[in-house]
């Protein structure tokens, strides 16, 4: 309607005491100019030029003191955050540097091994050593014991692991004396005779004690140590490496027969999948640690030395 002024103009008239005085004609020209534009285009400069600044805001600018106070609060918050974050950053960098030093000294392997609870590994067992004597777990107490399960016809894994075990034992003995006994337990009752086990162990070390037994005895001791093993038949096709190893075994069998040793058991055409783990027992015959295939000789020596040191610090003799 032509006779009705816009709401903004009526509000301006109500606040005429605070707004600057303008003529009616100038006011109407401003209103017509602004009515054709969106509200977001009503710039503050245009409104100030026409004396209509209060149409958009309805209030004056905040005083300068309030702006100064806001800036002061911002700087204070920044200083407070810095006061909290800088000590935390320093502590984090300090811990990183400490871990680097520990790694450089070779101590990081000990800090990464943690156990929750006591694993149920080990127990009483009865087997036969490579000299034909019946032995039990009691015969291996008073010294640390490093046990490995395998079989003498293993083409690659068992020889590698027993070589590693031999190196570890030599380093421990050189450092502490005769404080540990290496043990090899066969899981192949069909082929690993006493003579075969004795010959196999002597090829690695004179300290290595070979144990075997009946199928039931081996099954029981493997269950105590949570060892998995399973026989599987080898196909007719063989690799060149397997053929060479078979020839070497036949040659060794002939040599034993000529020397008067009991011959080996007949060679059955199968292999055995089994766990590749070394088990460490303390001087009381209790399980304390294990070492997998990926564990290096240096790591094994370091961790075994840790347990030997603890045992010696307690005042017990080995």
Tens of pLDDT, residues 182-198: 999 999 999 999 999 99
- Is 278:300 a contact under the CB 8 Å cutoff? yes
**Residue 301 and residue 178 share a domain:** yes
**Residue 186 and residue 287 share a domain:** yes
274 is an annotated ligand-binding site residue: yes
Gap between the Cα atoms of 226 and 160, Å rounded: 21
User: Over 134-154, what HEC string results?
Assistant: EEEHHHHCCCEEEEEEECCCC
pTM assigned to the model: 0.56
**Residue 74 and residue 22 share a domain:** no
pLDDT digits (tens, 9 = 90+) for 217-270: 999 999 999 999 888 776 544 455 555 555 555 455 445 444 444 444 455 678
295 is an annotated ligand-binding site residue: no
Overall number of domains in the chain: 3
What pLDDT does 133 receive? 94
**Residue 41 and residue 98 share a domain:** no
**Residue 215 and residue 68 share a domain:** no
**Residue 85 and residue 130 share a domain:** no
Q: Which of 166, 168, 182, 173 is nearest to 299 (CA)?
A: 168
Tokens encoding 56? 């958009």
Is residue 110 in a domain?
no
Give the pLDDT band of residue 9 (cuts 50, 70, 90).
low
Residue 269 sits in a domain whose CATH number is 3.40.30.10
**Residue 23 and residue 100 share a domain:** no
**Residue 151 and residue 25 share a domain:** no
**Residue 72 and residue 50 share a domain:** no
- Tokens 């034992």 belong to 169
Range of the domain at 101: 64-105
């Amino acid at each position: 309607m032509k006779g009705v002024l816009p709401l903004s103009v009526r509000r301006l008239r109500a606040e005429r005491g605070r707004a600057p005085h303008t003529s009616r004609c100038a006011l109407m020209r401003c209103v017509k100019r602004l009515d054709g534009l969106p509200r977001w285009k009503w710039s503050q400069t245009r409104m100030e030029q026409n004396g209509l600044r209060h149409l958009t805001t309805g209030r004056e600018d905040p005083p300068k003191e309030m702006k100064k106070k806001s800036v002061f609060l911002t700087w204070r918050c920044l200083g407070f955050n810095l006061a909290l974050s800088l000590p935390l950053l320093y502590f984090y960098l300090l811990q990183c540097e400490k871990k680097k030093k520990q790694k450089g000294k070779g101590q990081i392997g000990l800090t990464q091994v943690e156990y929750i609870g006591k694993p149920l590994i080990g127990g009483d067992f009865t087997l036969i050593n490579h000299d034909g004597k019946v032995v039990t777990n009691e015969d291996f107490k008073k010294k640390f014991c490093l046990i490995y399960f395998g079989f003498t016809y293993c083409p690659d894994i068992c020889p590698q692991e027993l070589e590693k075990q031999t190196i570890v034992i030599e380093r421990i003995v050189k450092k502490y004396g005769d404080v540990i006994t290496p043990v090899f337990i066969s899981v192949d009752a069909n082929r690993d005779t006493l003579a075969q086990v004795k010959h196999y162990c002597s090829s690695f070390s004179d300290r290595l004690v070979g144990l075997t037994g009946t199928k039931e005895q081996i099954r029981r001791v493997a269950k105590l140590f949570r060892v998995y093993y399973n026989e599987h038949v080898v196909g007719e096709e063989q690799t060149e490496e397997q053929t060479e190893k078979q020839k070497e075994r036949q040659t060794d069998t002939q040599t034993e027969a000529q020397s008067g040793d009991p011959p080996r058991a007949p060679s059955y055409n199968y292999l055995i999948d089994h766990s590749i783990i070394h088990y460490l027992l303390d001087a009381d015959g209790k399980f304390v640690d294990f070492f997998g295939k990926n564990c290096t000789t240096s790591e094994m020596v370091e961790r075994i030395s840790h347990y030997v040191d603890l045992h010696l610090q307690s005042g017990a003799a080995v």
